[in-house]
Structure 1
């Protein structure tokens, strides 16, 4: 599937001069959004960009199943014949990708122009930021297969954890625990769990020294109560599974520098963006799976 998608992205790049990683980023963003929402159909083809039938054919077009490029253009629809077969078909991956590319192309092919084109399409700053970051990740690694993971602390470290998602928390007001606590020694390395980009780094009165990393699947990974950060870690940096980003600590629950109000541990949270909002979900099953996968891999 990754090979088929890359072939499509390269075809669009050759025809439009829009770098493939921007097309890949949009397609992946839409795939993640469609999988997270019930008001959109699940992606079924190689590509996942969703265009409403009435927008494809033209809002005033009496035939929303129209695949004639001439009539679609007459009614100012977005449909486009991307594979040269004389039809603009919403069910055809090439046509859909080229149709979206045409909308970006009207603004230009530079980094800044593509950002403007994305904002004109989504009208949401966060969506634009996520897509541009995905493009940066794809460009950095030069491939689409970026689904492997690592456990957030070294397996050889003395650590323990259980499912604590949803537990009550009292400091700073009544709230629930949006994550899993992994207890380990002070300074034990904390590692990125997947391919992603550092979206946030700094202090939070609840989480202390913390890092936020957005992965290729729209998941936001939150690492809190750190003892500090890796020296070279910075916002906007691309990371890979197992890369050290900081150390286990006990920071938080007060102004910057507050530490020691609880035993050293890593608070690990996961959040999902669906194109409208973002919410937390239980990371415990993922942690168990990644730990098991890494142990199996280490024995090979």
Structure 2
């Protein structure tokens, strides 16, 4: 059920891929009314399932990121409040002759996961309440303690990455206690001296034949590097290619990668929650060698973005995003001065 392989494969796609564009801008188009509808839905499902609403929200958000990444195989209505998608066979049961079964009793007999979450006596997989309650109930089968829920997530998704993502989203929702975490920031102070252009796909010379998977922002040593998003610090340390680097996962299931740093903010550690504009490190020229290697190229920030699709992780060109965040921040600064 909802089996997503834990195999990790990296794909590189140009930013004009429609799926990538939708993935990065989806939450910016969500209005306040939709967040209110989601919050009411999560609180309702929380009461019925015995789960914390933050946990219900995290499951739904992970499902939403998968539905956005696979719109052809996980079609969701544009007006849907929930992002959950369940196949007909999983919903009704593999041996159920009625593939569109909506009778809770017969679904249960054939061991389908479909449940009546709205209380109308019908288990309709196209209904937000029913779909989300059904998945939440599956995950909660082992119990409502944190470890039990992690086991429940594994048994539903059969994917350690899915378990990690949901638990990261739970952390974010609990920390901020709200659903709207869609703000962004440009990764360097606008008052600093910097320059960048699109370097997506350029060839790289060190470490074998490969292409550039992000945008280089050239700046002086020690210029603060800021988080571009609300997220969880997923990776921090040395990488032979990226030097001192840090990786942050946001609620859109995007992995923001900051490389070639001269150092990290002293308070930042793995598992920390960050917000847009928070300093996480400093521009440097580390990398292309053993831990501590510096100066093999001019100081700059390498910024990359990767999208988790469950089966694969793929990179796309972050240059348009950086330009947009730069413009938005400049516009906000000008408005604040008037």
Q: How high is the TM-score relative to the length of structure 2? A: 0.87
**Is the aligned partner of 1:125 residue 2:160?**
yes
What's 1:61 paired with?
96
- Whole-Å separation in 1 of the counterparts to 2:292 and 2:37: 50
Deviation of 1:60 after TM superposition, in Å, equals: 1.4
**Is the aligned partner of 1:103 residue 2:138?**
yes
**Is the aligned partner of 1:27 residue 2:60?**
yes
Deviation of 1:38 after TM superposition, in Å, equals: 4.9
What's 1:155 paired with?
190
- Whole-Å separation in 2 of the counterparts to 1:216 and 1:121: 20
What's 1:8 paired with?
41
Do the aligned partners of 2:124 and 2:130 also contact (CA within 8 Å) in 1?
Answer: yes
What's 2:273 paired with?
238
Is there any run of 5+ residues in structure 1 with no aligned partner, and where?
A: none
SS in 1 for 2:291: coil
CA RMSD of aligned residues (A): 1.0
Is there any run of 5+ residues in structure 2 with no aligned partner, and where?
A: 1-33
- Whole-Å separation in 2 of the counterparts to 1:165 and 1:97: 39
Deviation of 1:16 after TM superposition, in Å, equals: 2.1
Task: Output aligned runs, 1:161-240, within 5 Å.
Answer: 161-240=196-275
Matched pairs, number: 300
Do the aligned partners of 2:75 and 2:85 also contact (CA within 8 Å) in 1?
Answer: no
SS in 1 for 2:289: coil
- Point out the more displaced range, 265-274 or 23-32: 23-32
**Is the aligned partner of 1:275 residue 2:310?**
yes
- Whole-Å separation in 2 of the counterparts to 1:111 and 1:98: 18
Q: What stretches of structure 1 move > 6 A for 4+ residues in a row?
A: none
Deviations 1:184-212 (A, max 9, x none): 11100000000100000000111110000
Deviation of 1:39 after TM superposition, in Å, equals: 4.4
SS in 2 for 1:197: strand
What's 2:319 paired with?
284
Deviation of 1:247 after TM superposition, in Å, equals: 0.3
- Whole-Å separation in 1 of the counterparts to 2:82 and 2:70: 17
SS in 2 for 1:133: helix
Deviation of 1:137 after TM superposition, in Å, equals: 0.7
What's 1:48 paired with?
83
Deviation of 1:299 after TM superposition, in Å, equals: 2.0
- Whole-Å separation in 2 of the counterparts to 1:154 and 1:226: 15
Task: Output aligned runs, 1:70-81, within 5 Å.
Answer: 70-81=105-116
- Whole-Å separation in 1 of the counterparts to 2:98 and 2:137: 22
**Is the aligned partner of 1:17 residue 2:60?**
no
What's 1:93 paired with?
128
Deviation of 1:21 after TM superposition, in Å, equals: 1.4
SS in 1 for 2:142: coil
Deviation of 1:228 after TM superposition, in Å, equals: 0.2
Q: 1:145 aligns with which of 153, 170, 180?
A: 180
Deviation of 1:50 after TM superposition, in Å, equals: 1.0
SS in 2 for 1:187: coil
Do the aligned partners of 2:226 and 2:278 also contact (CA within 8 Å) in 1?
Answer: yes
